[in-house]
Structure 1
């Protein structure tokens, strides 16, 4: 039941990707050569959301995990916010600020999770890796398309 609660939070974040799809605006932007193919995004995010929910459920039963769980809540809120900012409002600069803060929160959360439970920390590693790629992609698109979004 705890896992399903965390999975529900992840599903809410994922729903923003359905509501605010990349669309014609994104397709028209110049993108760097390391841009993953479009099919990779839903596959990666599905796996990452399952790992995030599993990590959250593991953290929820560990003594002393209050601060890490607070960070889990902050990261899912920031994760949910990025898509409407970038794809909905076309605010690439603000999207960069959101994803940079998200990366920092996830990095701190992961370090703290490792201190509590090795497996939970390991579950968060792919998320931080994907966020690193996504941050570089956000930054590159923002720089390559001046005037296409603030």
Structure 2
């Protein structure tokens, strides 16, 4: 493992995650009607920290591999949409637009898994929890939107 490359990817992931600190959920989100299966607030930083560490590891593994161009393009795509979702949902309070961002994030993560599989199965497998989490987050986004149509 190239630790400098890992550090670069780690900075990218935590840069994307910093939008959570810049655009916290706050009272607005607390007042929204949410489904009963909404994870408790403490789950989000724990899950995202774990996922960001896995993303950095996967990026550092895949980047130097021959033939990783598509995997790295999907890696870049997912981190861009990952960083965009929080400002759109919590900053602009545009849940419908955030759901579109979430769909694009899901496509990017699925593309990362698919393009990593032939190169490095460990990397692809490490991204499956991320795909699951984005699926859950997308369902939560859709459910909150449906329950609070005035904030579309």
The count of aligned residue pairs is 149
Q: Does 1:53 align with 2:64?
A: no
Q: Provide structure 1 residue ranges, at least 5 long, that are not aligned to the other structure.
A: none
Is 1:5 matched up with 2:8? Answer: yes
CA–CA separation in structure 2 for the residues paired with 1:138 and 1:121: 25
Paired with 1:25 and 1:89, the residues of 2 have a C-alpha distance of 11
Partner of 1:115: 118
**Of 138, 143, 148, the match for 2:146:** 143
For residue 39 of structure 1, what is the aligned residue in structure 2?
Answer: 42
Unaligned runs of 5+ in 2: none
Distance 1:76 1:47 in 2: 15
Q: 1:68, 1:142 → 2: CA distance?
A: 32
Cα separation, 2, equivalents of 1:108 and 1:15: 24
Secondary structure in structure 1 of the residue aligned to 2:18 = helix
Quote the Cα distance in structure 1 between the aligned partners of 2:126 and 2:11: 18
Distance 2:36 2:64 in 1: 42
Q: Could you state the TM-score of these two structures normalised by the residue count of structure 1?
A: 0.98
TM-fit CA distance, 1:17:
0.2
Pairing of 1:122-141 with structure 2 (within 5 A): 122-141=125-144
Q: Secondary structure, in 3 states, of the residue corresponding to 1:115?
A: coil
Helix, strand or coil at the partner of 1:116: coil
Q: Deviations over 1:49-94 (max 9, x none)?
A: 0000000000012110011101101110000000000000000000
Cα distance, 1:97 vs. partner?
Answer: 0.2
2:69 is the alignment partner of 1:66: yes
In structure 1, the partner of 2:85 is 82
User: What TM-score do you get using the length of structure 2 for normalisation?
Assistant: 0.97
Extract structure 1 runs of 4+ deviating beyond 6 A: none
Distance of 1:57 and 1:114 partners within structure 2: 15
